[in-house]
Structure 1
């Protein structure tokens, strides 16, 4: 296999590479400048110069999925083409990822806003019968005004299809049944619940995901008890006790949101 070797200022067609942004198991993401449109973009390129048939098939699947998905909270596809023997997928360039954002404290209102946007994206995907399978902060790109867009559908599958292989996803964000090769829409629910918990407490629940998880005291100090029960349901180790999909989770979130905000404001005033 010929390894990918791309340097800053290298030209790929109309794109001028500026720097590497991130690297995953199959691809590297670069910041680049579109010399024709005059805008910065993100380029996702397989790490091997001559990718295998399976890798190319996975990338074509991602392109076709991304091309179908039109939603304000899903990262849109700008272009996909072969340039100088590289398979290049082009996306709008965001300001940072959610992973970058949660390295520092997230306000309660900001955490709720980001959570709602994430759930709206997953709800739309599930309505299209797509399981994302890799819901994590690194795959959520933030644009101006903290607009969140979910990307990287590279290992997503149609819900009615058999999932190839086992344990596909990212350890630390993956539901127990997904690690055993049996993902479902409830697995995306689990990952979303972990991320919301992390934004509100600064801590990641860890295997075996028993309740209460770490930093439960921080959660109780900030959040309405009903919202704690909502999170407990989302990250239950038993998928049968979770929300059945992101739509049901989103609807529960929206019902709780007004009382959660009122509760948080009252607590803030009492401690001010």
Structure 2
């Protein structure tokens, strides 16, 4: 663990923001540019060629993605033996924002941003593989950005991968090691259900899950149907990718907002 006020090149560590299985994220002050940033730093036990290849892959994937709803990487380099990824610093995660009351109108705006970011990644054939509220970072003016592509896979033909992601938001086929673009759709559907209903559905995802009455009370039936389709257990019954789900949402957004 790095300590508060510890220097790392031009960065001065201020506090730890989060710990993940692969890396820790810190808030730091860039003493050259005079800005606060987020630094993602792999754990020491991950500093071998195998895991560093994954972090380099994440950096290169993000270099392909240029979208206002995806968190960009400002810099990636070795500093004092650490592999350091610098990113813009947000206000809080969507996960922490969901601990407070959120209006339906604001949640629909967040829905549009969530889908726009995921659709852009899918346009580049990138499966995020770890979509959850804590991986959407909230910035001023309620801008959401999708972060943490550490588990991402390139969708080129059939993928054989170890089951990765966050328990509770992972699609069944992804848990079996076969992620698809539709696996991200499933995870997005669970994020939306949690955002509007206030609870997270659990396996076996039978409809209606707990909170469905609240969902129907708050949302237009078309919006409920969109979420229900996204969390179908069988991938073939979902939207095939974020682009198709975004297009479906845009068709119903106006009546959904008028509810």
TM-score strictly above 0.5: yes
* 1:131 and 2:144 are equivalent in the alignment: no
Q: What are the Cα deviations for residues 8-39 of structure 1, in whole angstroms up to 9, with x where unaligned?
A: 00000000000000000010000000001000
The equivalent residue for 1:268 is none
Match for residue 100 of structure 1?
Answer: 96
Higher Rg of the two aligned structures: 1
Aligned-partner Cα distance in 2 for 1:78–1:143:
16
Counterpart of 2:148 in structure 1 is 152
| Contact 1:105-1:202 at 8 Å conserved across structures | no
State the distance in 2 between where 1:196 and 1:103 align.
14
How far apart in 2 are the matches of 1:161 and 1:44? 30
Among 215, 229, 240, the alignment partner of 2:211 is 215
Structure 1 residues 50 and 174 mapped into 2: Cα distance closer, same or farther (>3 Å)?
closer
In 2: Cα distance, 1:230 partner to 1:162 partner: 26
Does the Cα contact within 8 Å between 1:71 and 1:124 map onto a contact in 2? yes
Pick one of 17, 21, 25 that aligns with 2:17. 21
Deviations 1:159-187 (A, max 9, x none): 01654542111110001111011110000
The 1-side partners of 2:157 and 2:83 are apart by 26
Cα gap change, 1:120 to 1:53, in 2 (>3 Å): same
1:10 aligns with 2:20: no
Change (3 A) 1:158 1:48: same
Q: 1: CA distance between counterparts of 2:89 and 2:70? A: 13
- The whole-number CA distance in structure 2 between the counterparts of 1:54 and 1:99 is 30
After TM superposition, where is structure 1 displaced by more than 3 Å over at least 4 residues in a row? 161-165
The total of aligned residue pairs comes to 259
Question: Hey, what's the Cα distance between the residues in 2 that align with 1:155 and 1:161?
Answer: 18
Deviation per CA, 1:91-135, whole angstroms, max 9, x where unpaired?
000001111111112110111111110100010111101111111
- Give yes or no for the alignment of 1:226 onto 2:217: no
Change in CA separation of 1:85 and 1:163 when aligned onto 2, cut-off 3 Å = farther
Find the aligned partners of 2:190 and 2:45 in 1 and give their Cα distance: 36
Corresponding residue of 1:88: 84
Looking at structure 2, the residues matched to 182 and 166 of structure 1 have their Cα atoms a distance apart, in angstroms, of 8
Question: What's the CA shift for 1:63?
Answer: 0.7
Give the CA deviation at 1:42.
Answer: 0.2
Instruction: Give the alignment's TM-score, normalised by structure 2.
Output: 0.97
CA–CA separation in structure 1 for the residues paired with 2:45 and 2:200: 36
Stretch deviating more after TM superposition (34-43 or 52-61): 52-61
Structure 2 CA distance for aligned equivalents of residues 155 and 104 of structure 1: 29
Give the Cα separation in 2 of the matches to 1:254 and 1:50: 42
Structural RMSD (CA): 1.1
Question: 1:202 and 1:115 mapped to 2: Cα distance?
Answer: 15
Q: Which residue of 1 aligns with 2:185?
A: 189
The two structures have a TM-score, normalised by structure 1, of 0.93
Tell me if 1:34 matches 2:30: yes
Give matches, 1:260-271, under 5 Å.
Answer: 260-262=256-258, 264=259
Gap runs ≥5 in structure 1? 265-272
**Aligned-partner Cα distance in 1 for 2:5–2:45:** 18
Which residue of the other structure, out of 156, 168, 171, is the alignment partner of 2:167? 171
